[in-house]
Chains A and B, each alone.
Chain A
Amino acid sequence: MLKNNPASPRRTIFLVGLFVMAIVASGCGVRFDMQDQPRYKAYKKSDFFADGRASRDMVEGTVARGLLKEDKAFYTGKIDNPDPNAQAQSSTDASGNTVVTSFPNAIDEFPIPVTKELIDRGEERYKINCIVCHGPVGAGDGMIVRRGFVRPPSYHDDRLRNAPVGHFFDVISNGWGRMTGQKAMIPVADRWAIVAYIRTLQASQNPEQIMRMNSGAQPAATVTPAPAASPAGRPNGGAN
């Protein structure tokens, strides 16, 4: 009898058994098909899109239902038919910076009712998004400024006390000077809440304004100078 006969039943059984075991074993290995499913969760990498981002930008011009943004005052802080040729007045301050002193096209009234809830919300959001540079009372002495960022103007000078609310909204949305626009980070309603809180801060640093508000009288012509709520003597600017 030949040994190792390929057709021997024992060898066939062995091979078939090996095959079955291989199939079983292949299913027993460490697999992560359920762990990492073929679907996209937030920020997952995509092999399909050229830039590798699974989280896609919206197609330009997309309007979500209910978000046509017809309320121009609410969404832009500008008056209904802004004059594109309106020129802002500006002056030059002591350190040679150009300072804009008029804010054409900006709305002067809040487009939403100002309630305590709105101001509280604004305080919370201010402390998240603004306090890092503008400081606890808006004097422009936030921690990032102490770390070397260009010092933002204080809210408590006549120029910004008299600036219309639409201007603050526009600056939060689109930036101003070294400040970048925050519209991707702060929703519209929260931006208005922050503006309301900025107005509150301004009043808090200006007792005359509070007295006027309490008495319901017309604004007086004179405004008290901004109190130095920050360490005085810090130069406008700083290391880059």
Chain B
Amino acid sequence: MAQFFPKSANNVAKITMILGVVLAVTAFYAYTQLARSSYLTGRYVEKQQPVQFSHKHHTGDDGIDCRYCHTTVETTASAGMPSTETCMTCHSQIWSDSPYLEPVRASYRDNTPIEWERVHDLPEYTYFNHSIHIAKGIGCSTCHGEIDNMPSVYQENTLQMEWCLSCHREPEKFIRPKSEIYNMRWKDSDLSTEARVQLKQEYKIRSRDMLTSCSVCHR
């Protein structure tokens, strides 16, 4: 009986097996990279806002504190968005005839809210609270980046669970003194490792097991 497969079929079979493994690994790697890409996470993507508001101008150039507008960041889950009245404390007087600010004036005139695009949009199966992070020594720029250098605000980090956990597992790597919370230039290296571990104890940050418990964020 004649051989059905030629001898070269052995090589084809081997190459096919190796290629299959290579392809599978490549595909998995590509998937992990795609899942972390800005295309899927929205990282680094600037959003078109109804008003061309610049954080760089207001905080970087003018030195207005974060909490002037985000008034509830120390006390509630939401950092708080400024009301149109807050904009108008200054812009009723300065730049009061700028066409860029017409949406603000229209909002004030008609008593309708300005519809900002949410930049940091956490999935709603997660619970996030700004105030507890502030109270435990996590600064704005740790998560949001140097906002005062962003003419148009974008998401600095992926906001994926692995990113949240990277800090919840080792908060002592990112903690800073409470006096530096709003310092946009703070670097984690500004404080020695030992000092940060000590801060973690001082601020009574819970254990890694507690912080990575499911119900801390999914409740």
In the complex the two chains form, what is the Cα distance from A182 to B90 in whole Å? 12
Q: Is A43 in contact with chain B by the CB < 8 A criterion?
A: yes
Q: Is the CB of A184 within 8 A of B94?
A: no
List the A side residues contacting B96 at CB < 8 Å. Answer: 240
Q: Is the CB of B94 within 8 A of A42?
A: no
List the B side residues contacting A51 at CB < 8 Å. Answer: 112-113
Q: Please indicate which of the listed interface residues B64, B78, B123, B124 has the most CB atoms of chain A within 10 Å of its own CB.
A: B124
Q: Is B85 in contact with chain A by the CB < 8 A criterion?
A: yes
Q: Is the CB of B65 within 8 A of A128?
A: yes
Nearest CB in chain A: distance from B203 CB, A: 18
In the complex the two chains form, what is the Cα distance from A34 to B126 in whole Å? 10
**Residue B94 contacts which of A37, A52, A148, A186 (CB distance < 8 angstroms)?**
A148
**Residue B78 contacts which of A36, A43, A132, A144 (CB distance < 8 angstroms)?**
A43
Q: Is the CB of B113 within 8 A of A150?
A: no
Q: Is the CB of B115 within 8 A of A45?
A: yes
Given the interface pairs A35-B124, A52-B113, A185-B71, the reply to whether A143 lies near B83 with Cβ below 8 Å is no
Nearest CB in chain B: distance from A160 CB, A: 20
Q: Is A178 in contact with chain B by the CB < 8 A criterion?
A: yes
Nearest CB in chain B: distance from A80 CB, A: 30
Given the interface pairs A42-B77, A144-B62, A185-B71, the reply to whether A150 lies near B93 with Cβ below 8 Å is yes
Q: Is A39 in contact with chain B by the CB < 8 A criterion?
A: yes
Q: Is the CB of A178 within 8 A of B93?
A: yes
List the B side residues contacting A52 at CB < 8 Å. Answer: 113, 115
A35 and chain B: residue at smallest CB distance: B123
Nearest CB in chain A: distance from B120 CB, A: 12
Q: Is A90 in contact with chain B by the CB < 8 A criterion?
A: no
List the A side residues contacting B124 at CB < 8 Å. Answer: 34-37, 39, 41
Given the interface pairs A52-B113, A127-B65, the reply to whether A35 lies near B125 with Cβ below 8 Å is yes
Q: Is A180 in contact with chain B by the CB < 8 A criterion?
A: yes
Classify the interface of chain A: helix, strand, loop or mixed: loop
In the complex the two chains form, what is the Cα distance from A123 to B194 in whole Å? 31
In the complex the two chains form, what is the Cα distance from A186 to B72 in whole Å? 10
Q: Is the CB of B125 within 8 A of A129?
A: no
Q: Is A53 in contact with chain B by the CB < 8 A criterion?
A: yes
List the B side residues contacting A147 at CB < 8 Å. Answer: 62, 94
In the complex the two chains form, what is the Cα distance from A184 to B85 in whole Å? 9
Q: Is B164 in contact with chain A by the CB < 8 A criterion?
A: no
Docked complex: A26-67 residues within 8 A CB-CB of B: 34-37, 39, 41-43, 45, 51-53
List the B side residues contacting A150 at CB < 8 Å. Answer: 93
Q: Is B89 in contact with chain A by the CB < 8 A criterion?
A: yes
Docked complex: B51-95 residues within 8 A CB-CB of A: 62-65, 67-68, 71, 77-78, 80-81, 83, 85-86, 88-90, 92-94
Given the interface pairs A42-B78, A51-B112, the reply to whether A132 lies near B94 with Cβ below 8 Å is no
In the complex the two chains form, what is the Cα distance from A42 to B70 in whole Å? 13
Q: Is the CB of B63 within 8 A of A180?
A: no
B71 and chain A: residue at smallest CB distance: A185
**Residue A132 contacts which of B68, B113, B116 (CB distance < 8 angstroms)?**
B68
Q: Is the CB of B71 within 8 A of A34?
A: no
Docked complex: B30-44 residues within 8 A CB-CB of A: none
A34 and chain B: residue at smallest CB distance: B125
Given the interface pairs A51-B113, A143-B63, A178-B93, the reply to whether A37 lies near B125 with Cβ below 8 Å is yes
Q: Is the CB of A128 within 8 A of B67?
A: yes
List 4 A-B pairs, minimum CB-CB distance, nearest first.
A42-B78, A128-B65, A37-B124, A35-B123
Task: List 30 interface pairs A-B (beta carbons < 8 Å), by A numbering.
Answer: A34-B125, A35-B123, A35-B124, A35-B125, A36-B124, A37-B125, A39-B124, A41-B124, A42-B78, A43-B81, A43-B118, A52-B113, A127-B65, A128-B65, A128-B67, A128-B68, A129-B65, A132-B62, A132-B64, A143-B64, A144-B94, A147-B94, A150-B93, A178-B93, A179-B89, A180-B85, A180-B88, A185-B68, A185-B71, A240-B94
Q: Which residues of B contact A (CB under 8 A)?
A: 62-65, 67-68, 71, 77-78, 80-81, 83, 85-86, 88-90, 92-94, 96, 112-113, 115-116, 118, 123-125
Q: A148-B93, A182-B89 are in contact. List 4 more A-B contacts (CB 8 A).
A: A42-B78, A132-B64, A149-B90, A239-B94
